[in-house]
Structures are given as C-alpha cells and as structure tokens.
Chain A
Amino acid sequence: MSGGRTPAELEPPAELGAPDRRPPLERLVRRDDLARTLAPFVELGEGEAVDGLAVFDRDGLRYVQVGGGPMQRWEQLPPEALDALRRVGARDFRIGEHLFAIRPCFAGADRVGSFLISSARERVSAGSGEGSLAALADALTGVVGAVLQAGFATWVTSEMHLAASESNYRALQQRNAELERAVAHLREVDQLKSNFLATVSHELRTPLTSIIGFSEMLAKGIAGPLNEEQTEYAKTILDRGEELLRLITQILEMSKMELGTMRLQLEPNALADVVGRAFSAATIPAERARVHLIHELDSELPNVLIDSDKVQQVLVNLISNAIKFNHAAGEVIVRAELAPMRRPFEEDFFGEEAADALRVSVSDTGIGIPSDQLGRIFDAFYQVDSSSTREHGGAGLGLSIVRKLIEAHGGEVWAESIIGVGTTFHFTLPIAEQPIPKIA
C-alpha cells in the first residue's frame, strides 16, 4: 500500500521552470474546442453503443463531457470509477449495465488528465464487447493526445518566451545600471583625453622643438664654452625635452589608432631580430637603471607574420616599463614559445587548444601590480599609481598602445603579477605560414 506517506516524503516541487511545470488542461485546449472535437464521435458511435465521452483533469474533476448516459451523473458513480480515475483501479471496467474504458492523456512528459468512454452494455453487439470499446478508447485517446500535444507545444513555447524574457529583463536592468556607471566613467575618461589632446597640439610641439634645439646647442658648447655644471643643466633640459616629445608623440599616435588610420605591413619576421632591435633601443635606460636585459629565445622558433616596426614598438614599451618598475640589479627576461592564439581560459578540462601562435613573454623582477588592477592597466590614461606624488612618470598610454597594436595583429595581450616578485606580460602573434629564406 502506498497510503503511509508523510508530507516530508513528498518531494517539494521547489521552483519549477517552465519545462518542468505541468500545464493545467485549460491552458492546453479550450473546453468548447474539445467538446466540439469529441461530439461527432458520440453520434458516430451510436451504432457502436457509445453513449458518453469525457475528459477529466489530473485531480479527477470533469473538464469536458459529451453525450449522455452515466457520465452525466459521474459524481454519484460507485468507487470503482473513481479509483480508475485515480489510477489505482482497472483501466477497463463495468458498472451495472455500462462498460467503461479509461486512458491517460499526456502533454509533453506529463499526465495531464484522463479520457473516459462509456457504452451501454446491452447494445454492444455480440462478439465485440469490451475489446472493441478498448480499441475505440485507444483510437480516441490518440486524437485527444494529438490535440493536447499541439496545445502543449504552444503553451511551453509561450512559457519559455515568458521565462526567458523575464530573466532577460532582469539581466537587462542589471546591465543598464552597469552601463550607467560605465557611461559616467567613460565621460570622465573622455574628458580627460580631450583635455590631454587639446593641450598636446602643434602649439606645444613648436616651443618644444626650440627648447630641445637650443639646449642641445648650449650643451654642445656652440654658443660658447660652459662650465661642467652648466653643461649638466643644459643636458638635463635636453633629456627632459626629448622625453616630453616622446610623450606627445605617443598621444598623437594613440589618437591616430583610435581614428582607425593605422596600417600594418605584415611580413614574415624572425622574432629574435625584432627582440634584438628592441633591446638595443633599451640598452641605455637599462644601464642607467642597472637592470639586466636577457632573452631566452629558442633558435627553432618559427617566423611570425607581423609588422616588425609595430611589434618592436610593443617590445620597447613593455621593456621600458619593465625597466622603469624594476629594482636595481633586477632582470628583464624575454621568452617565447608556441601556444594558442587566445589567452589561457579558466577551464581547460578538454585540453589545450592547438598551438598556432607564438606567445612572447616579458618578465620583470619589479614591484608587481595588484591583481584588481591587472584588468585595467591596458586602459588608456590608466595609472596604477595616479597620485601626484607618484614615483614614475608617463601618460598611461604605453600599454594601451601595446594592446591596440597586438589586437591589430589578431593576438591577445594580458599580464600576470605577484606583488614584490614581478610582473609578466604575455602577448601572442600569428605564425608565418611558410618559412622565409633567411637574409643575412
């Protein structure tokens, strides 16, 4: 017996999603429609002695009934009939003068109701009897089933639409709030950039050329000999002037990239050559900061299909950062290996992706970057230390340019860092399909 159930044993349906809910009959088919569909079968079945058809819902309540007979007084029927509806009794049974057949009705995966057919016993012709009534019941259940199935498809589609749009609506609201914050942030950044670009115009470069030119003449003693201290001052003016010029050039470059006017000249190149050129450009600042530049490049590495000037610029930017944020006697190491084009993903259960690119890494032994800042360092004008008393200069454009250049090559750039131990920047470059004969 299954009578001994306690409420705790009934699994609570919890929050059922649309695919799991059982639709009520009235959502699947309208009463009138179902009655109209069934009515002809009673008339047709007159000779077969069918005198009533009914559909009951899951709780055993009558939903639709056509024809006459005992079905009209269903509530007063003996317990066999009610048991059959509750699925504990026989599916085909007789009560007094009447034969009954009961069949479950499904919609999707769930039983949504029962179909019942009744026939006056004395009118059933000899030789057919219960068998033919059962066959008729099966056939008609098929018809009702098809109607319910169609209703179910419509119902579940609309439920899914509803549920999906509700959840999309919530997601949208959240996105809207995020977007509003983002817009405020963007306005701020945009303002910052406009200010910057406004200041760095031709007006700024013109006087700068004079400063650089005249301080160079002074330092070289063209305007007459200077003592050691004076020469030192003039040289400082010259150095600083050039630094300023570089900054301005970077900013103009950045705006050029944002306008989308950058063109790449892609050619097969040996990475070692490009790294070599970047190292020689960084030798002087490295020596000044007493930082060692090291490259660990395998001679077997394939060529990359790149614009070598642009990638050199990427390397110079990363290496000079690595020097700038290093400590004395620190190291800057450039490595490269075959790897997938895209940065590593949090999930790698299905294995490594195909290594169809070269991953170049620039590591330093410097101060490191807090992990919550790693995602933002590639934003234009972003500085990890943006206080006015910060130790290191710059416009916050170097990494932003790096990202733009690498993405233009179809690669990705990202960083890893441990505070106090160092930072490693990785970027990927496409491999040149065919090896190019080496030019000496």
Chain B
Amino acid sequence: MVYIDIQHREVTLKLVYYGPALSGKTTNLQQLHQRMVNHAGSELVSLDTRDDRTLFFDLLPLEFETQGGFKIRLKLFTVPGQVIHNATRKIVLQGADGVAFIADSRVGQTRSNNESFADLKHNLREHGLSFSDIALVIQFNKRDLPGIRSDAEVKKIATKGKEPVFTAVAIDGHGVAETFMGLAALSWAKLEAKFNFSERFGVTHADFMSRIGELFEGGGAA
C-alpha cells in the first residue's frame, strides 16, 4: 500500500518482482541497479542468498523529486521464487502497489509459470486483493534461450489479459528498463486514480515518468 507522508511531502511506492524460481527476478533488479548506478540513495540490498538463490528478498530503493519539490520513493523488491519460501513471499508481497511477474519463456517452464501465477493470485487474495487492485505487468524473460514460446505465442498470451506484456533478456539488460518503466507507469496511474496526486500535490503522470526516465540517463549505460 502506498505510503503518503504529507508532512514531508513524500510518497513511497512498493513494487514487487514476482515469478517462478530462477526466472530472473534478481537479475532484473541487478541490471536496473547497474544502469542507475550514479543515483544517490539507490543501493541494492541483497539479503542472505545461498547458492545465488534469493532466500528473503532483494531491495532496490530509488528516490527522486518532482516539480515542486515533491519526493517520490520507490522500493523495488524481489521475492524468493522457490515454492517452499511462500511465507517470505507473502510477507514481501504485503502492501505492494505494483507487481512485475517475471516469467520464463521456455515452453518447458509453462507449468512453473502457471503455478507461480496462481500462487501470486492466491497470496494477493490472502491480503484481500485481486489483480484489479494492483498494477500488474508481465515480462517474458530469457528470450535468448532455445525452446521458448515464439513472439506470436507471447502476443497471443498477451491478448488474454489486460496486463502489459514485455519481453526481455534480463541477463543482458534487454527489456529490463522497459518492464520497470511499464510497471512504474501503471502503478502511478492506479494510484493517481485512487489518490488524485496531480490535483492534490501537482504531480502529473508525465512529470513522474520523465523523472523515472532521468534515472537511466547518465547512469553509465550508454
């Protein structure tokens, strides 16, 4: 749930990267971090990993100011994908404003994608939420691997829901920024509809998005 601090003119959004085990959630965050490396306050916090698998979560905090000195903070989390860590997943998911579902494009991983998607639905329901309450975007990751769903198939899947769908090769950084921007835009739009930021604080969607875009500029990624 968005945290609005009127006194300090500050809004905090929570965005969560969800998905099956080894689909590349942490890689997404690492790549984002790499591209924004020159920005203050964006230290990637990685907690307790074993064999390079996420046990609790990774956290990438971002912060910027919009016109009129309104401060926006974004907290990007990943969840552990392995089935047994559901307790942790549920805790991290609590109060999320937006979710990026990172799916593995390989046909053989269809079942785990579906299972994790159902798990997301289930965990949201336990927090009293449904897909329509949060901003959800979907990323088909690992587009460089063999045995993946074709672009046409991805397009077909995309038409099934109203969630924006992105394709990515997170390990090379392709599509990572696009997914994040899509998630940020949709999350903001959802909150805008609910809290009317533009009227109350003079923060427009265009302003918000241009600040997000600025995060990537001069970040070392040419």
The residues of A with any CB-CB pair to B shorter than 8 Å are 2, 5, 9-11, 13-20, 87, 106, 108-110, 149, 152-153, 156-157, 160, 163-164, 167-168, 171, 340, 342, 345-354
Contact = CB atoms under 8 A, between A and B. Distances in A.
Choose among A10, A152, A348, A350 the residue with the greatest number of B CB atoms under 10 Å from its CB.
Answer: A350
A153 to B, nearest CB: 6
Given A11-B1, A108-B59, A152-B45, A17 B121 contact: no
A2 B9 contact: yes
Interface string B62-102: 01000000000101010000000001101110110000000
A17 B43 CA distance: 20
Given A164-B88, A167-B91, A168-B87, A354 B110 contact: yes
B6 A5 contact: yes
B14 interface: yes
B77 A19 contact: yes
Contacts, number: 114
Contacts of A152: 45
Contact of A354 (B3, B48, B103, B108): B108
A82 to B, nearest CB: 14
**B-side interface mostly:** mixed
A50 B57 CA distance: 40
B114 interface: yes
Given A149-B43, A352-B110, A353-B110, A14 B7 contact: no
Contacts of B118: 345-347
B221 to A, nearest CB: 22
**A-side interface mostly:** loop
Which bracket fits the contact residues of B? 35 or more
B56 A160 contact: yes
A109 B61 contact: yes
A352 to B, nearest CB: 7
Nearest to A3: B7
Interface of B: 1-9, 12, 14, 41, 43, 45, 47-48, 56-57, 59, 61, 63, 73, 75, 77, 87-88, 90-92, 94-95, 103, 107-108, 110-111, 113-115, 117-118, 121, 149, 153, 156-157, 160-161
Given A87-B8, A108-B45, A17 B91 contact: yes
A153 B47 CA distance: 7
A168 B84 CA distance: 11
A358 to B, nearest CB: 18
A411 B21 CA distance: 24
B29 to A, nearest CB: 13
Contacts of B8: 87
B91 A160 contact: yes
Contact of B91 (A14, A164, A342, A345): A164
21 contacts: A2-B6, A9-B6, A11-B1, A14-B1, A18-B91, A19-B57, A19-B77, A87-B8, A106-B41, A106-B43, A108-B61, A109-B59, A153-B47, A157-B56, A160-B56, A349-B114, A349-B161, A350-B114, A350-B157, A351-B156, A354-B110
Choose among A108, A157, A171, A348 the residue with the greatest number of B CB atoms under 10 Å from its CB.
Answer: A348
Given A167-B87, A345-B114, A13 B4 contact: no
B113 A350 contact: yes
B160 A19 contact: no
Given A20-B14, A153-B47, A160 B88 contact: yes
Contacts of A106: 41, 43, 61
Contacts of B9: 2
B103 A350 contact: yes
Given A5-B6, A19-B57, A20-B95, A349 B117 contact: yes
Contacts of B3: 11, 13, 20
A47 B113 CA distance: 63
A345 B111 contact: yes
A347 B117 contact: yes
A348 B90 CA distance: 22
Contacts of A167: 87, 90-91
A231 B176 CA distance: 83
A18 B73 CA distance: 18
A164 B47 CA distance: 14
A277 B121 CA distance: 46
B6 A10 contact: yes
Given A11-B1, A87-B8, A167-B90, A17 B95 contact: yes
Given A2-B9, A5-B7, A11-B3, A350 B47 contact: no
Contacts of A171: 87
Contacts of B4: 9-11
Which 9 residue pairs across A and B have the least CB separation, nearest first?
A109-B61, A347-B118, A350-B113, A5-B6, A167-B87, A17-B94, A17-B91, A347-B114, A11-B4
Contacts of A353: 107, 110-111
